[in-house]
Amino acid sequence: MKIRSLVMLACTVFSVHASLADDKIKRSDYQRPEAIPAPASNPLTEEKTTLGKTLFFDPRLSRNEGMSCATCHSPDHRWSDGRVVPLGSEELEQPRRTPTVMNSAWLKALMWDGRANSLEAQAVLPITTPHEMNYNMKELVERLGEIKGYRPLFENAYGDTEITTERIAMALATFQRTLVSNTSSFDQWVEGDEDAISSSAQRGFQIFNDEAQCAACHKSWRFTDDSFHDIGLDDPDLGRGKVIPVEVTIMQHAFKTPTLRDLPENGPFMHDGSMTDLEEVIKHYEDGFIQRASLSKEMKPFELSDQQRADLIAFLKTLDGGPLAIEQPELPEE
């Protein structure tokens, strides 16, 4: 009788515990949105997307005509470049890894340090940055104006053939908004397909939200809070601290939380590309970070077993929807 009571009590406690966990971690928090957002000043259109895609792949947007946006944001590398140090940044003292442009339609702050607040504002930065495409918008407008093949593309997009900096930026932003992660096995699980991800990955999801508290920053369906944190990497780069008042200590060494969707197999990971496997990344978050005044308050040490780390990695791999099917555009002739 006593044993029966104990079993019933244990069942009740387990049931309450499981129910609390379910309440706390809602799969619906990770549900994909139904539509791609766009500002009223630059609505999504097929014609603008076509123009933006052509511009994105055109190396004539760089001064020496040798680098396009797609050189560093390549469809073959999940719209990044797979490099620790981006092309052209080899001589920089503090180079930063190329972030993906997937799911950028939802970004509220762009660049690792958040210095651009819209895709339209961001679009011209790589074109005009000396160590990247090293061009200027005035000369680019003139160059594109001489390429006859661009005229119908601008006319279709905007109603006339005029080429301006603003129109180039709007088209590039529009194309990038269409780059959305494919549905992954995790998404299917969120939608109710219980067998879509393994038991190990399901345990990893629990660890992600509980023990490891990854979800404090890697939240929403994009697994980012669009915010800035110093995660205690041994790197002198001040990140967001370079672009905001120096007295804001908490933003020193702070970088934007990157998405965890569609992670490349071997990274590189972190803003400086300093890690190449996910186990190393997890161990950094466990207790490998530097304690300093600017360290994010969300950086709290924890300890995982080898099995838990494997579960967490299994979960992260379920966020991969595979490469986007994209046809390279035909570049307009002179």
Binding site for another protein (CB under 8 A): 108-109, 114, 117, 216-217, 219, 225-229, 240, 244-245, 247-248, 250-251, 254, 296-298
When the beta carbons of 181 and 252 are compared against another protein, the nearer one is 252
Q: Classify burial at 236, counting beta carbons within 10 Å of its beta carbon; exposed 0-12, middle 13-18, buried 19 or more.
A: exposed
Q: How far is the CB of 216 from another protein (least distance, A)?
A: 6
Q: How far is the CB of 311 from another protein (least distance, A)?
A: 23
Q: How far is the CB of 251 from another protein (least distance, A)?
A: 5
Q: How far is the CB of 197 from another protein (least distance, A)?
A: 26
When the beta carbons of 34 and 247 are compared against another protein, the nearer one is 247
Q: Determine the Cα–Cα distance for residues 174 and 182; give it in Å rounded to an integer.
A: 18
Q: Determine the Cα–Cα distance for residues 32 and 223; give it in Å rounded to an integer.
A: 11
Q: Say how many residues make up the chain.
A: 334
Q: Determine the Cα–Cα distance for residues 237 and 217; give it in Å rounded to an integer.
A: 21
Q: Determine the Cα–Cα distance for residues 4 and 79; give it in Å rounded to an integer.
A: 58
When the beta carbons of 68 and 224 are compared against another protein, the nearer one is 224
When the beta carbons of 30 and 57 are compared against another protein, the nearer one is 30
Q: How far apart are the first and last CA of the chain?
A: 90
- Taking every pair of Cα atoms in the chain, the longest distance, rounded to a whole number of angstroms, is 91
Chain-centroid distance, C-alpha 29: 18
Q: How far is the CB of 73 from another protein (least distance, A)?
A: 22
When the beta carbons of 52 and 241 are compared against another protein, the nearer one is 241
